[in-house]
């Protein structure tokens, strides 16, 4: 997540930043809400929800990894990463 942390850092106040436990709980909620066929859909939903729920966040990068993908090669996982920015 990208956000201006100057005020939070100077004040040492969690109310001026994003509570990581709340973000984690949101990600778990989204992950468990439905079955996703694509990692792309999962990371899109997570990024949108983070930007919606946490107005201080200006940009978010979400990465999801799926272990043991059946591609028949020497891969131990597939991974998708997206970055989304708040629209002004």
Asked if residues 78 and 69 have their Cβ atoms less than 8 Å apart, the reply is yes
Asked if residues 23 and 31 have their Cβ atoms less than 8 Å apart, the reply is no
Alpha-carbon span 1 to 58, nearest angstrom? 7
Could you confirm whether 34 is annotated as catalytic? no
* Secondary element (H or E) of residue 81: strand 77-85
Which is catalytic among the residues 34, 65, 66, 85? 66
What are the residue numbers of the active site? 66
């Amino acid at each position: 997540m990208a956000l201006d942390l100057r005020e939070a850092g100077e004040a040492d106040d969690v109310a001026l930043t994003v509570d990581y436990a709340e973000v984690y709980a949101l990600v778990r909620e989204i992950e468990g809400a439905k079955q996703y066929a694509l990692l792309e859909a999962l990371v899109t939903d997570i990024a949108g929800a983070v930007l919606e729920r946490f107005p201080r966040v200006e940009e978010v990068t979400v990465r999801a990894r799926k272990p043991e993908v059946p591609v028949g090669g020497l891969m131990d996982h597939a991974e998708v990463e997206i970055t989304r920015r708040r629209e002004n």
